[in-house]
Chain A
Amino acid sequence: MDFAIQKLLGGFNNLDSPQSSEHLDRTLACLSVRVPLDFNFSHANAHRLVRKQIERHMRLCTVATSGFELLLTTTGSEPLLAEAAVQIMDQSKNSPIHHLSFHIDNNCVNYGERGELVAALLVMQARDALASTSNSRWVSVGDFMKTLLGASARIDSALPSFARDGEEQKSLANTFEHSRIWFNHVLKVRNTDLINVRYLWRFITHGAMVLCANNQRGVDLVVPICYSGNVLSRRTMTAILIQPP
């Protein structure tokens, strides 16, 4: 893990003090491997920022023309780097949203038009809070819902809006009693066909939740759930679907 942390932070072991110039680059690196950040290249500093992320902080360059007039970048699905980012941010005692707030002023980061990024970070924050108090990387759905929604969740008494015969009185907590979640980063998909039960188990093997393609109907975020048992297959999977208002 130390190796992954150093690769992510350009050879360093921590985020440095918030006053340093390196701090912003390192926090951006940690955020980038966890959520798919886009950059706003209309800003003067964006090119310098992105090139530094590629050079020192494991960001991937997919297209570059001579002189870097066109520079397309992305982050891959690398759960080890995401796990390193979790550890770094845990040591800093601040949440990903807190670190992201430092980048609002420089206007280089594209936050999305409908709050998907913030929603993803809130979901991530809930998972991180649970995982930090647990010995395992996976978390139970019940605990996750309580942490995400707070006291208003009332999952012990929440009943389904639609249910199969005989399950009308089965509460949310009972329904997902044996369900578990595992993710530590967000994977942006660009093909709407991937939001399908056939592929959900594959996202769990990568430790990823899913940010849907633009214009995906009815959903923006998908949190895959292993509904029951331990085996991963399309028959044992379900998902939490989230669409920010």
Chain B
Amino acid sequence: MLTRGAIHFDTLRLDSSVVEHLACIQGAWIQSPVWPFFWLQHNPCVSKLDKSHWQVQECHCQLALHFHHCMTETEWLQFEKMNEYCTSFFTMANNGAWSLYSELCCCLSKFVGLPIFTLFLSTAGKFHLFSPPRLSDYSSRVVLGANWVLPPITETGFDQFTLDAKEGKITLDRVVEVDWICSLGRPLYVFLAHAFW
């Protein structure tokens, strides 16, 4: 099972300064219950990907990359505000050239086989433009249908992360605990709660 310290950021093929920064943050994360976060900013004026344009920014973020740690010892990468990158990804991928999107997919493919999931979050209304169409993908396996691209999850119900409650086993003392309460309702609080306790 993968542990927190086992992620090697050089597999992300990022700039060395970024990798160095990530390693530093990762080390701090082990000591601190607070989630680490860092910002990767790309200059949208650059049409061709150049790793030197990835810079660590403490603020003025466009793309936030969070590392989470959940109860099942599974890691996931969470990209927020993807709607801001959606357009540029889409445009560049349509050109048929090696793009930011294809580079990102290539980086993430390094994690295949590891208990790591990747989440792309967006509040954009045009969620169907979230990723380029299948025929524009850089991978022929995706284009030809050998690999399947997951459709976006556009709605989730309540109590998605509800903890297991079996009649005759669950206790009153358990259901008044804060982590139990956080698991009910919108899937909004459970990870924050877990991170701080």
Contact = CB atoms under 8 A, between A and B. Distances in A.
Interface residues of B, number: 21
Interface in B161-197: 165, 167-173, 175-176, 178, 180-182, 184-186, 188-189, 192
Given A80-B182, A80-B185, A230 B158 contact: no
Contacts of A232: 165, 167-168, 170-172, 175
B181 A80 contact: yes
Interface string B140-178: 000000000000000000100000010111111101101
A231 to B, nearest CB: 6
B167 A79 contact: no
A136 B173 CA distance: 9
A80 B184 contact: yes
A83 B169 CA distance: 25
Contact of A81 (B175, B180, B185): B185
Contacts of A226: 172
A7 interface: yes
Interface in A21-39: none
A180 interface: yes
A77 B184 contact: yes
**Contact count band on A:** 20 to 34
Nearest to A202: B165
Contact of B189 (A80, A136, A204, A206): A80
A204 B175 contact: yes
Contact of B176 (A80, A81, A138, A233): A138
Contact of B167 (A7, A136, A201, A206): A201
A235 B170 CA distance: 13
Given A3-B192, A76-B158, A234-B167, A182 B185 contact: no
A138 to B, nearest CB: 6
B176 A137 contact: yes
A173 B40 CA distance: 63
B184 A206 contact: yes
B58 to A, nearest CB: 22
Interface string A219-235: 00000001000111111
Given A77-B158, A204-B175, A232-B175, A83 B170 contact: no
A233 B175 CA distance: 13
A206 B165 CA distance: 10
Interface centre among A1, A201, A232, A234 (most CB of B within 10 A): A232
B185 A7 contact: no
Contact of A230 (B171, B180, B184, B192): B171
Contacts of B165: 202, 205, 232
Please indicate which of the listed interface residues B167, B168, B170 has the most CB atoms of chain A within 10 Å of its own CB.
B167
A112 B62 CA distance: 48
A207 B168 contact: no
A116 interface: no
B170 A205 contact: yes
Contacts of B184: 77-80, 206-207
A180 B172 contact: yes
A1 B179 CA distance: 11
Contacts of B182: 80
Nearest to B171: A230
A128 to B, nearest CB: 15
A195 interface: no
A226 B172 CA distance: 8
A126 interface: no
B141 to A, nearest CB: 41
8 contacts: A78-B158, A80-B184, A201-B170, A231-B168, A231-B169, A232-B165, A232-B175, A234-B167
Given A83-B181, A201-B167, 10 more contacts: A1-B178, A77-B158, A79-B181, A80-B185, A182-B175, A202-B165, A207-B176, A231-B170, A232-B172, A235-B168
Interface of B: 158, 165, 167-173, 175-176, 178, 180-182, 184-186, 188-189, 192
9 closest Cβ pairs, A-B complex: A78-B185, A137-B176, A233-B168, A230-B171, A79-B181, A233-B167, A205-B175, A226-B172, A205-B165
